[in-house]
Amino acid sequence: MFFQYCSKVKSFLFVVLAIFKALEDVFAAFLVARYINLAQTKNYHELFSLTLVAVVGFMIFTLLGLGYRRIKTSLLKDINVQFKNDLVAYLLGTNNELKLDMSYLTNDLKQLETARIEGQLNIVLYALQFLTSFFAGLVANLILTIVYALTSLIPAAVQRLFQKKIETSSVTWQTSNSAYTAKVEELFKNLSLIQLYDVRKLFSTKMQKPILNLEEALRKMNLNIGYTTEALIGTSLITTIVIPFLLGIYLVMSGHTTVGALLMIAQLSNNFTGPLIAILDTLNTLKTTDSIYQKYLTAKNAKRALDLPSPKDFDSLSLKQISFKKLYHDLDLQVLNHEKILWTAPSGFGKTTLFKILLGELAPDTGTYTLNQINVDPATVHAYFAHVAQEPYIFADTLQFNLCLGKDIPKEKLAEVIELTGLTKLVAQRGLDSVLQPAGADLSGGQKQRIELARALLQDRPILLIDEGTSALDPKLSEMIHEKVIANFNGTVIEIAHKLSPKEQALFTKKIALDELSE
């Protein structure tokens, strides 16, 4: 329930204010009964007194209603923040085994926040409306209230007839939504390529199927919910108006109750049937979020601490009899501290994949991976590595943030690394506080690679992995950076490169042709 994810004080205050909001309908029904009965007495003094009570009472209930709305929106905010923080912690602390994608983090999560959590808050109010109205009705007329209450339960049986279809159509909609979102993301990512080769019409046609599947799945889900709602309304009109009024009019005609009491219970009966139908309808909606919620719970339980202990000193790493898919088989490698190693292999061998295995992002199909003679923990092994990727990661943040990733780096060390990686001119022109565009759209390929390299050096990790880290630089600048970085890095370097000059290759202590080691 919602109170698991927010302040207990706020939850208690919400329930208290919801009780007062539910009592507003009881107060209104009481006034109806009093006004109807007063019409038969011609007591003008009591009429004006009752009107004064009505005005003051509704003003108080309005103020309490404002408080109810305020605390409800505050609870929703707190819960939504908790959900998002848990999922971010999961993504940052794991390898995303659940395969959470943009569709889940946007569309599905929004449905979870609104349809499930807000639905639970509404159920609390609906239940209180039913209970307060039911007990007030018992005071007015026991028999008539019981009849109203019993007949209002009949729609529950109707709801169960549609429950399975709603659940099935909900799962189909979620699957279609994920497929559609994936296709849209792919379309945006490759838009320039599609336009370049004039295949717009082809991709417009390819998008029609996921769009149609999504909308058809949504239509069926909404139709099943709509059928359920209409069946509930039709059933409730018969069971909560025709039958109870038949009994009520008979009791008035036989002198066992008053017209005012009948109208009061009739008005309160809206809070017998209305809240129950709303509860059942909301429960149907909640069912549509079950799989989304279960995935959130799994992510919440799987998230790990974001602050990991610093790695111990690096001694050696070893890959023995490593196989991964069809890329390589029975691969053996050993790397010792302070070695400077250049890895080479033909295109398609899987050099970048091998880096991902070292980083714990991928697990080999067979074989063992040890670090300091201990089997690696995929969740923490990355703490030994700094990584210069083929495609540099640039955040839409300041240049200093992109270099330091928010860490407190001494100015002297930052200045030294900026000089080592040839970023002095960029920093002088733009300043460390300048904000970069998303994905470094305002930077050249070489500038992005140098930022990536500088960032790796500033992280103070014992092993530096470089994956084509200077491929976008001119040969002279690449040589200069290699001479400075390779020679001055106080640790282990493993680099993948195709176009290094003989002078650059001579800086490495070992050169390994990976394709000669793998069967």
Q: Which helix (H) or strand (E) covers residue 212, if one does? A: helix 200-237
Q: How far apart are CA 183 and CA 190, in angstroms?
A: 11
Give the type of residue at 213.
N
Q: Based on the fold, state whether residues 133 and 260 are members of the same structural domain.
A: yes
Query: Which residue, among 309, 314, 306, has the nearest Cα to 374 in the 3D structure?
Result: 314
- Sequence-distant (≥ 6) Cβ neighbours of residue 415 within 8 angstroms: none
Give the β-pairing of 492-496 and 463-467: parallel
Q: Based on the fold, state whether residues 280 and 328 are members of the same structural domain.
A: no
More confident residue, 389 or 236: 389
Tell me: the pLDDT tens digits for 427-438? 999 999 999 998
Which of 57-66, 271-280, 290-299 bottoms out in mean pLDDT, i.e. has the lowest? 271-280
Q: What angle do CA 308, 309, 310 make, to 5 degrees?
A: 115
Q: How far apart are CA 276 and CA 282, in angstroms?
A: 10
Q: Based on the fold, state whether residues 292 and 416 are members of the same structural domain.
A: no
Give the type of residue at 278.
A
pLDDT at 147: 77
Structure-block tokens of residue 374: 């201990």
Structure-block tokens of residue 214: 């999504």
> Is position 184 within any domain?
yes
Which of 52-56, 141-145, 372-376 bottoms out in mean pLDDT, i.e. has the lowest? 141-145
Confidence of residue 276 (pLDDT cuts 50, 70, 90): confident
Q: What does the pLDDT average to over 300-305?
A: 72
Q: What does the pLDDT average to over 131-158?
A: 77
- Contact call for residues 243 and 153 (beta carbons, < 8 A): no
Give the type of residue at 235.
T
> Is position 45 within any domain?
yes
pLDDT at 233: 79
- Contact call for residues 93 and 299 (beta carbons, < 8 A): no
Looking at the chain, how many residues does it have? 519
Domain-ending residue, one of 268, 302, 336: 302
* Cα 263 → chain centroid: 48
> Is position 511 within any domain?
yes
Q: What is the DSSP letter of 435?
A: B
DSSP letters, 252-314, are HHTTSS-HHHHHHHHHHHHHHHHHHHHHHHHHHHHHTTHHHHHHHHHHHHH---SSPPPPPPP
pLDDT at 140: 78
Domain-ending residue, one of 302, 331, 366: 302
pLDDT at 316: 92
Query: Which residue, among 470, 454, 324, 331, has the nearest Cα to 390 in the 3D structure?
Result: 470
Q: Based on the fold, state whether residues 80 and 217 are members of the same structural domain.
A: yes
Q: What is the DSSP letter of 5?
A: G
Q: What does the pLDDT average to over 367-383?
A: 88
> Is position 311 within any domain?
no
Q: Based on the fold, state whether residues 9 and 150 are members of the same structural domain.
A: yes
> Can you give the pTM of this predicted structure?
0.64
More confident residue, 472 or 447: 447
Residue 17 exposed, middle or buried by CB count within 10 Å (0-12, 13-18, 19+) = buried
| Count of the separate structural domains present in the chain | 2
Q: What backbone phi and psi angles, to 5 degrees, belong to 493?
A: -125, 130
Q: What backbone phi and psi angles, to 5 degrees, belong to 513?
A: -90, 105
Q: Is the pLDDT of residue 198 over 70?
A: yes
Q: Is the pLDDT of residue 303 over 70?
A: no
Q: What is the DSSP letter of 434?
A: P
Cβ-based neighbour number of residue 196 at 10 Å: 9
Q: Based on the fold, state whether residues 399 and 337 are members of the same structural domain.
A: yes
Domain-ending residue, one of 302, 329, 354: 302
> Is position 285 within any domain?
yes
More confident residue, 310 or 6: 6
> Is position 309 within any domain?
no
Q: How far apart are CA 507 and CA 513, in angstroms?
A: 16
> Is position 447 within any domain?
yes
Which of 278-282, 340-344, 356-360, 385-389 bottoms out in mean pLDDT, i.e. has the lowest? 278-282
Q: What angle do CA 448, 356, 446 make, to 5 degrees?
A: 15
Structure-block tokens of residue 413: 């060390």
pLDDT at 307: 63
Query: Which residue, among 359, 275, 315, has the nearest Cα to 462 in the 3D structure?
Result: 315
> Is position 310 within any domain?
no
Mean pLDDT (the chain) is: 85
Q: How far apart are CA 166 and CA 98, in angstroms?
A: 25
Half-sphere exposure of residue 75, counting CA atoms within 13 Å on the CB side? 27
Tell me: the pLDDT tens digits for 66-108? 999 999 999 988 888 888 888 888 887 777 778 888 888 888 8
Q: Is the pLDDT of residue 519 over 60?
A: no
Tell me: the pLDDT tens digits for 379-410? 788 889 999 888 888 888 999 999 998 888 89
- Contact call for residues 366 and 322 (beta carbons, < 8 A): yes
Q: Based on the fold, state whether residues 233 and 378 are members of the same structural domain.
A: no
Q: Based on the fold, state whether residues 59 and 166 are members of the same structural domain.
A: yes
CATH number for the domain spanning 408: value is: 3.40.50.300
Q: Based on the fold, state whether residues 294 and 353 are members of the same structural domain.
A: no
Q: Based on the fold, state whether residues 50 and 191 are members of the same structural domain.
A: yes
Cβ-based neighbour number of residue 254 at 10 Å: 8
CATH number for the domain spanning 285: value is: 1.20.1560.10
Give the type of residue at 514.
L
* Cα 150 → chain centroid: 41
* Cross-strand bridge partners of residue 40: none
Q: Based on the fold, state whether residues 261 and 343 are members of the same structural domain.
A: no
Q: Is the pLDDT of residue 264 over 80?
A: no
Range of the domain at 462: 316-517
Q: Based on the fold, state whether residues 82 and 229 are members of the same structural domain.
A: yes
